[in-house]
């Protein structure tokens, strides 16, 4: 897909918050179109490559926008805190770990088909780097695991709430939901599946089939239905993931730098040399989570330990954008 010339001009000329808003709108428009189970693997791959055109722009000539990402795009953690302060009598947050924009069609269609009112569909920024513990800390938890068995406590930013984090089938998750007005439920899927399939050559294909089955199931929507009884619900994630198996091979010098710096990862903590390359292949960021160096764009490189076909932690759109759906029933 080629970027429309008028849109490209807006990317280059508008202030960073407006340019990022337009980038995100374009990515959501591509990712959120209805999907069928039969054609999902091929169609998700096609859409991934189409969003890759936006990534190419951002890494090739719009890299200054990446420098502004942390300040120009509201983080999911910030949006949740604002939403939690709204005067709803009862509310629930469902965090599906690693959920990306690719999964939007199943959530939108499923909600509409099963009688939910969809109040909004958008996307917000992950923490940088796009890691689970960084998101947990941004919400005031020590880690994701703290939420297990109502262990969230009263010092986090979404109080008062009953909390849970457990990797159980949806039906068992539904059985855990009691009459407590406010809930935060963090489920390790699909991130658990991302890492299970990260080394497989068909990682995205396998994950897409699993997503189609799970997010179309009566069990999943029965769980959401239980969570939505008397509550306004947000479905979101801590971060997305990159289908790095679809990425391009970096040139020899860039690949050597990326391999030495990141090994098989997408970021490294601390202050590091971002290299001499223009356009850059690495981006230094300094956030509340400390200094980090992130891999930028859609490059992959050979590494002795292999390079995963699914990963997160770097700077590409499907890694750093988290869906944000608000529903009631």
> What would the pLDDT profile of 28-42 be if each residue is shown by its tens digit?
999 999 999 999 999
pLDDT of amino acid 304 = 82
Confidence at residue 201, expressed as pLDDT on a 0 to 100 scale? 59
Residue-wise pLDDT tens digits, 123-135:
999 999 999 999 9
Q: Where are the domains of the chain?
A: 76-242+318-328
Entry pTM? 0.96
Distance CA 45, CA 206 (A): 12
- Cβ density class 219-253: b for 16+ within 10 Å, e for less: ebbebbbbbbeebbbbbbbbbbbbbbbebeebeee
Whole-number pLDDT of residue 12: 84
At 251-309, the pLDDT tens digits run 999 999 999 999 999 999 999 999 999 999 999 999 999 999 999 999 999 988 778 99
Q: Are 214 and 314 in contact (CB under 8 A)?
A: no
Q: Check the CA dihedral 242-247-250-255 and report its sign.
A: positive
CB 167 within 8 A of CB 187: yes
* Positions of E strands within the chain: 91-96, 117-125, 162-165, 183-187, 232-236, 248-249, 267-269, 282-287, 290-295, 299-300, 321-328
pLDDT band at 7; cut points 50, 70, 90: confident
- Architecture of 76-242+318-328 per CATH? 3-Layer(aba) Sandwich (3.40)
pLDDT for position 68: 95
**Is the Cβ–Cβ distance between 307 and 300 less than 8 Å?**
yes
């Amino acid at each position: 897909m080629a970027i429309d010339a008028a849109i490209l001009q807006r990317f280059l000329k508008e202030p960073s918050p407006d340019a990022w808003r337009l980038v995100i709108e374009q990515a959501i428009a591509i990712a959120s179109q209805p999907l069928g189970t039969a054609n999902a693997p091929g169609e998700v791959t096609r859409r991934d490559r189409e969003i890759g055109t936006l990534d190419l722009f951002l890494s090739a000539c719009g890299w200054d926008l990446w420098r502004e990402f942390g300040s120009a795009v509201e983080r999911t953690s910030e949006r949740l805190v604002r939403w939690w302060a709204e005067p709803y009598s009862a509310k629930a947050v469902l965090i599906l770990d690693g959920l990306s924009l690719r999964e939007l069609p199943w959530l939108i269609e499923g909600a509409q088909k099963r009688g939910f009112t969809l109040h909004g569909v958008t996307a917000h920024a992950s923490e940088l780097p796009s890691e689970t513990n960084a998101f947990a800390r941004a919400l005031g938890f020590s880690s994701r695991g703290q939420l297990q068995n109502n262990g969230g406590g009263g010092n986090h930013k979404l109080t008062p709430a009953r909390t849970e984090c457990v990797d159980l089938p949806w039906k068992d998750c539904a059985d855990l939901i009691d009459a407590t007005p406010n809930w935060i439920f963090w489920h390790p899927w699909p991130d658990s599946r991302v890492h299970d399939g990260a080394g497989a050559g068909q990682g995205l294909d396998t994950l897409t089939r699993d997503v189609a089955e799970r997010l179309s199931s009566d069990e999943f929507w029965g769980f959401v239905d239980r969570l939505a009884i008397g509550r306004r619900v947000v479905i979101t994630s801590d971060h997305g993931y990159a289908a790095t198996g679809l990425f391009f091979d970096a040139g020899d010098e860039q690949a050597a730098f990326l391999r030495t710096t990141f090994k098989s990862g997408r970021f490294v903590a601390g202050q590091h040399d971002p290299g001499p390359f223009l356009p850059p292949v690495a981006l230094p960021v300094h956030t509340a989570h400390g200094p980090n160096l992130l891999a930028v764009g859609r490059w992959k490189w050979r590494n002795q330990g292999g390079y995963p076909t699914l990963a997160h932690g770097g700077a590409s759109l499907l890694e750093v954008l988290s869906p944000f759906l608000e529903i009631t029933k």
